[in-house]
Amino acid sequence: MIVCIAEKPSVARDIADVLGAKIKKDGYIEGNGYQVTWTFGHLCTLKEPHEYTPSWKSWNLSSLPMIPPRFGIKLISNPTYEKQFHTIEKLMQQADEIINCGDAGQEGELIQRWVMQKAGAKCPVKRLWISSLTEEAIREGFSKLKDQSEFQPLYEAGLSRAIGDWTLGMNATRLYTIKYGQGKQVLSIGRVQTPTLALIVNRQLEIENFTPKQYWELKTVYRDTTFSAIIKKSEEEVLLEEEKKGDAANKKVEPNPGIDPIENREQGMALLEQIKEAPFEVTGVNRKEGKEFPPRLFDLTSLQVECNKKFGYSADETLKLIQALYEKKVATYPRVDTTFLSEDIYPKCPGILKGLRDYTVYTAPLEGKPLTKSKKVFDNAKVTDHHAIIPTGVHPQALTDMERRVFDLIARRFIAVFYPDCKVATTTVLGEVDQIEFKVTGKQILDPGWRVVFAKETSEEKELEEEENVLPAFVKGESGPHVPDLYEKWTQPPRPYTEATLLRAMETAGKLVDNDELRDALKENGIGRPSTRAAIIETLFKRNYIRKERKNLIATPTGVELIQLIREELLKSAELTGLWEKKLREIEKRTYDAHQFLEELKQMVTEVVMTVLADNTNRRITIQEAVTLQEKEPKKRERKATTPKPKKEKGAASLPTSMSVAAGQVCPLCGKGTIIRGKTAYGCSEWRNGCSFRHPLD
């Protein structure tokens, strides 16, 4: 008998249907020579500290660092899990062959390997590796089963990740809780969680410490077109540009035109007076035609970013939605970090487009002719285990509104990559008034190409409308009167992270970049994996290290103090943690040794413990009660600007004035906001949304 083990009951049912197994048993489906069973995600986990050494059960500094000589696994204590495991164990003990049908990724490999180890499986094991749950994909996968040994590096990477998280998390959490937590609350420290929190805290401190600087802009209106005075580049900007050009010997000395930055009003008014009476002359007209490529296909992170920007969905919500679309067979495997397709997908694309019956207005122009095969879409070198997220061609049915929105994004991106490039013309007009140079740039769409696939309300179209500035026809040498003016401006602080920008920062180890090629290069050092980043952000909410204000992620006082307390850069540096993540990826590729990774990790944890134990300062951290997810995320209010304000609570006026109130705690009236300190009283951060809590200062 051949035993197939899937990660979920729904996936097991799909596989059983294809294999012709029809007889439902308790915990598995049987028939046609197969027994198809399932896990519920993780059934096994690494053992707790006290299960290695009884003395590790109590939290004390003398037991640190806790590093078992050999790590072991155990069954998760849950009656449902235990019952299912014993069913799996019995099937595996009697099996002639096992087919691992777990999710085709690092976590899926680890889940099933642990179950097989715990069950004591001895027979040969094959691996089903598929990116879609359609009948065609499952049949094709079973016709190309691989040997389990091919995936040993993937398992070793997953095991190294789990052991690394256990070793650092268990030791650092106990260390900081006992040393600095006043015994009131666990201070959770994690290999990815803490550097992610540090990104938010550091951005918040940048904003709080930002000093706005006043400056002025000189502009003038000529022929109903606003021209801006050209400002000289700073020495730093010039040097940066020179570095980008490479070899100094081959560099041409570029002109640096323009006026010095206008730093005071008197300087600006003098320039205004200088040009007021002089005519405006057009000194140059430069028109360049170019192309804009279609947006890339989605990987998980870019899909989470887009859903957060467009719909306000959290990273965790988007992951659950795309997982549901995968299980409903309408989208391919979601936990991916590439935006490319392998070349063997190209012959299947006409069939996938044909299956998108709700999009015939866009797919019809592509029928009857060869599809574009761009290297920006099809590139085997950019695809490892899985390709980008695309539709499967199965007609979507019974989708929720939220699922339909996510599917729509995926479908339109897929269709757009086969459309022509968008052709644009960019015109730059230079002008001069009394030796002061001015410039304006306009953009015009000559042929929309792929843009027709996107509905008017999409951000691509909105951005286009903002950018598009069709200029009148100017001729070099023309001149005439103009109307100059001086505009007061202030430098702006960096923006707080949203889930969208935080996901990008995690992907690139804190380096926020817009360029797709550069972002791909930085992904190697990203922190976390696409499939785990959403859970990391949710953990920060649960620990009350961060909260949400509209879309912005704000660190709580506990979160800020925790990062300020940690002096060990390895615990909070996104860049350093990214290097560890890179080593885990290299273990997958067989270019780095798992044993060496774990030895380095143990050495790092030992050094962290010794450094903290040697701290003789009396540093402590402010402890606050953790909020629930429900409290931290009033979803409807965040997504709909038109949501009516909640009515004032009847009991607002009768709150006792003797109650203990502190900035940062959860509002006792609405349960959603955080207490903030004003000049004369404490209030709630949700006051704009109707919360009437107010308490006089002591």
Catalytic residue annotation:
333
* 65 cis-preceded (ω within 30 degrees of 0): yes
- In this structure, what token pair is assigned to residue 565? 């307390």
Integer angstrom CA distances of residue 654 from 406, 666, 679: 46, 18, 22
Query: How far is Cα 429 from Cα 450, in angstroms, rounded to an integer?
Result: 28
Conformation bin of residue 443: beta by default, left when phi > 0, alpha when psi is -120 to 50: beta
The letter for the amino acid at 648 is K
**Residues 419/450, Cβ–Cβ less than 8 Å:** yes
* 696 cis-preceded (ω within 30 degrees of 0): no
**Residues 134/392, Cβ–Cβ less than 8 Å:** yes
Phi, psi of 282 (to 5 degrees): -80, 120
Task: Give me the sheet containing 23-25, strands edge to edge.
Answer: 23-25, 28-31, 34-38, 2-6, 97-101, 125-127, 146-147
**Residues 340/383, Cβ–Cβ less than 8 Å:** yes
Residue 476, helix vs strand vs coil: coil
From 553, 454, 447, select the one nearest 199 (Cα to Cα). 553
Residue 379, helix vs strand vs coil: coil
The letter for the amino acid at 572 is K
- Rg from Cα positions in the chain: 30
Torsion sign (Cα): 639, 297, 523, 376: negative
The letter for the amino acid at 172 is A
Geometric angle at alpha carbon 326, from 320 and 332, rounded to 5°: 125
The beta strand positions in 404-471, using DSSP E, are 422-433, 436-447
